[in-house]
Amino acid sequence: MKLLRFGPAGHEAPGAIDAHGNIRDLTGVVPDYFGADISCDAIARIAALDLTQYPIVDPSTRIGACVADTRNFYCVGLNYALHAAESGLDAPSEPVLFNKASSSLSGPNDNVIIPRRSVKTDWEVELGVVIGREALYVDEADALNYVAGYCLINDVSEREFQIEKGGQWVKGKSAPTFGPIGPYLVSADEIPDPQTLRLQLALNGEVVQDSNTSDMIFSVREIVAYMSQFMRLMPGDIITTGTPSGVGLGMNPQRFLKPGDVMELEIDGLGQQRQVAVAAD
């Protein structure tokens, strides 16, 4: 099942992709994809629908973030050994956790706005996990049963805000449009092993990140179980699971986004994104 939201920013409607790749409009059938409306049970109810009964959406319609304004947008840092090394840091012995503001969420093909006073806006292709059941103190063996599905995420990051201004990484991770997700949420049954997915990011046509989720230090199963020891994960919570090497911060010389740059991202089975970087007003 591939679930997505379509329409103008702030006015998206819920939809699903049918067997022929058409977007079907599920307005009035499901409220939106937020919290319990995107739980494992809710997805099972949508999967039981005959999608051919619902209107086809014009394929040129804008695609929004595949999860509506989430309560929690969690991130795992330094989760690929080569990325930790390019950041000048040791591979972590326990998952590094931080947050992005939920207001950073944007559509997969929306412009990425380089914030005012930014000189170091960077890219990060990542596998996103959406929680489908309340998870507290879950075992690794059971952890994937708490996952509703997976999506593609660009964890856009402003490195000066993140690293040079003290305190927590959240400052560099949270600007509006710093969280393109989608195009769709792929339900967990379609991704039996989330540790086998190739992920790539090209900048202006040049592939700069090219890795596989098999290279993660902490697997999705380990991350969900680990996080649930510290907090109650809720349906609709998003966890972005870390980026592989090839970010601008790790290049020599370093490279950061400038207006007009184009990022194209892809993860096996989870679709593609394309964003143009633009300057803030």
Ligand X SMILES: O=C(O)C/C=C\CC(=O)C(=O)O
Q: Is 135 or 216 the residue whose CB approaches ligand X more closely? A: 216
Looking at the chain, the number of H-run helices and the number of E-run strands are 5, 18
How far apart are alpha carbons 265 and 261 in whole angstroms? Answer: 13
Residue among 141, 132, 182 at smallest CA distance from 14: 182
Exactly one of 177, 243, 245, 273 binds ligand X (CB under 6 A); which one? Answer: 243
Q: How far is the CB of 94 from ligand X (least distance, A)?
A: 14
Instruction: Return the range that interacts with ligand X (CB under 6 A); candidates 34-42, 186-194, 241-249, 270-278.
Output: 241-249
Q: How far is the CB of 135 from ligand X (least distance, A)?
A: 22
Instruction: Return the range that interacts with ligand X (CB under 6 A); candidates 4-12, 82-90, 127-135, 225-233.
Output: 82-90
Exactly one of 70, 104, 157, 245 binds ligand X (CB under 6 A); which one? Answer: 157
Other C-beta atoms lying within 10 Å of the C-beta of residue 281: 5
Question: Which residues ranging from 136 to 155 are in contact with ligand X (CB under 6 A)?
Answer: 155
Task: Compute the chain's Rg from CA coordinates.
Answer: 18
Q: Is 155 or 266 the residue whose CB approaches ligand X more closely? A: 155
213 lies in the binding site for ligand X (CB under 6 A):
no
Q: What is the dihedral of CA 202, 116, 68, 27, to 10 degrees?
A: -90
How far apart are alpha carbons 178 and 110 in whole angstroms? Answer: 10
78 lies in the binding site for ligand X (CB under 6 A):
yes
Phi, psi of 5 (to 5 degrees): -125, 135
Contacts with ligand X by CB under 6 A lie at 77-78, 83, 87, 89, 124, 155, 157, 163, 242-243, 249
